[in-house]
Amino acid sequence: MITFDQLDTELKALENPNTIKIFRNHGCPDSLDLYGLKIGDLKKIIRREKLTKNHELAVELIESNNSDLIYLGLLAVNPNKVTTEQIDKWNVAFRETWSQLTFGLASIVSKRGDALLFAKKWIESEYDLTKSMGWQIYSEHINNLPEAEALLQRAKETLQSESNRTRYSMNGFIITCGIYKDDLHEKAIEAAKSVGKVHVNLGKTSCKVPDAISYIEKARNRVN
């Protein structure tokens, strides 16, 4: 079974300066080491080494100081074996780093039975990336979310006063309501109109914030 040091050595040998530059431009801080591996390459390693069956190694990767190793661990770890204490610890570790890591952590939490408890707590956080995770989790649970309408109203009223990445995830929640909740479709369109254009600093990239109204309508037309 492969070890942490062996994985680290393998990933370091695959270091990609061009991808490193892209990831730095997307917000990966200098405080984290970075080899610049693409997600597809990481997934190949997971399949080859059967890392989803090596929970202890996945945790060790997550608790390293290298963004690629951390994300590899987040992709491989078993959500139901992770403790609430570990989730809280990782939130603290990632909340001032960058969105790739918090996106990965939110994806783990979303697969757990207590996901909505974290979402409820996290959207009240003072940390932008933590709040963003809370809204991401709510979006991923939209089909089983009794409070969806109340959250949609909150997004409508407060999005423009929220912090950076939180605005992005709240915009995503409005879109999700508009696409997947028939009973909230019109209210989501109304919310998007009320909110107006959403500005988010996405780093030195060409990425854009989706226009909620057009995104909802295009997605609905594809489904219908």
Tell me the pLDDT tens digit for each residue of 30-89. Answer: 999 999 999 999 999 999 999 999 999 999 999 999 999 999 999 999 999 999 999 999
- Place 224 in a pLDDT band, splitting at 50, 70 and 90: low
In the chain, the percentage of residues whose pLDDT exceeds 90 is 96
Is there a contact between 11 and 37 (Cβ–Cβ < 8 Å)? Answer: yes
Tell me the average pLDDT across 82-110. 98
- Write down the pTM of the prediction: 0.95
Tell me the average pLDDT across 116-135. 98
Is pLDDT above 80 for 184? yes
Per-residue model confidence (pLDDT) at position 222: 80
Containing 204, the helix (H) or strand (E) segment is none
Containing 1, the helix (H) or strand (E) segment is none
Which conformational region is residue 168 in: left (phi greater than 0), alpha (psi within -120 to 50 degrees), or beta?
Answer: alpha
Per-residue model confidence (pLDDT) at position 27: 96
Residue type at 112? R
Is there a contact between 83 and 104 (Cβ–Cβ < 8 Å)? Answer: no
Rounded (to 5) percent helix, strand, coil in the chain: 70, 0, 30
Tell me the average pLDDT across 106-127. 98
Is pLDDT above 90 for 127? yes
d(Cα 161, Cα 176) in Å, to the nearest integer? 20
Q: What mean pLDDT value characterizes the chain? A: 96
Per-residue model confidence (pLDDT) at position 220: 84
d(Cα 16, Cα 26) in Å, to the nearest integer? 15
Per-residue model confidence (pLDDT) at position 223: 61
Is pLDDT above 80 for 165? yes
